[in-house]
């Protein structure tokens, strides 16, 4: 089974500062990789996904993530945090030859005015 590790269950940044949320996966074969966001009291929505095309993936709301095979990582970044970015962020994977879906434990992002 796949596993996804998100380092840091809580991250705080100042408004306008860089956002960096970390994600590592366990598979030796690079899976499909995703970042989902959950705003308070809502369901999840897709931010971006990696499916083996470009290693730098751009998503919605100014977020992007870089796939690094050598580090088995897929960290999420945004150059300048906005108050509206406060939410819970989940990294997730899907195996290339499977139909299951695995989420990380999530990182709660707080943006300080």
- Cβ pair 111, 11 in contact under 8 A: no
Q: Which of 49, 59, 72, 86 binds another protein (CB under 8 A)?
A: 49
Please tell me whether residue 46 binds another protein under the rule CB under 8 A.
Answer: yes
- Cβ pair 34, 102 in contact under 8 A: no
CB of 67 to another protein, least distance (A): 15
Please tell me whether residue 90 binds another protein under the rule CB under 8 A.
Answer: yes
Please tell me whether residue 94 binds another protein under the rule CB under 8 A.
Answer: yes
Question: What does 52-89 look like in DSSP terms, one character per residue?
Answer: SS-SEEE-GGG-EEEEEGGGTEEEEEESS--GGG-EEE
Please tell me whether residue 9 binds another protein under the rule CB under 8 A.
Answer: yes
Q: How far apart are CA 63 and CA 97, in angstroms?
A: 28
Q: Which of 22, 27, 30, 51 binds another protein (CB under 8 A)?
A: 51
> Residue 81 or 104: which CB sits closer to another protein?
104
> Residue 2 or 72: which CB sits closer to another protein?
2
What is the enclosing helix (H) or strand (E) of 105?
none
Please tell me whether residue 37 binds another protein under the rule CB under 8 A.
Answer: no
């Amino acid at each position: 089974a796949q596993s996804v590790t998100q380092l840091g269950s809580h991250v705080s940044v100042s408004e306008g500062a860089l956002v960096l949320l970390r994600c590592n996966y366990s598979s030796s074969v690079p899976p499909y990789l995703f970042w989902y966001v959950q705003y308070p009291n809502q369901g999840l929505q897709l931010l971006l996904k990696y499916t083996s095309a470009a290693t730098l993936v751009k998503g919605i709301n100014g977020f992007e993530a870089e796939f690094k095979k050598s580090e088995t990582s897929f960290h999420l970044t945004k150059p300048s945090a906005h108050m509206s970015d406060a939410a819970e962020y989940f990294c997730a994977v899907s195996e290339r030859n499977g139909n299951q879906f695995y989420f990380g434990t999530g990182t709660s992002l707080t943006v300080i005015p």
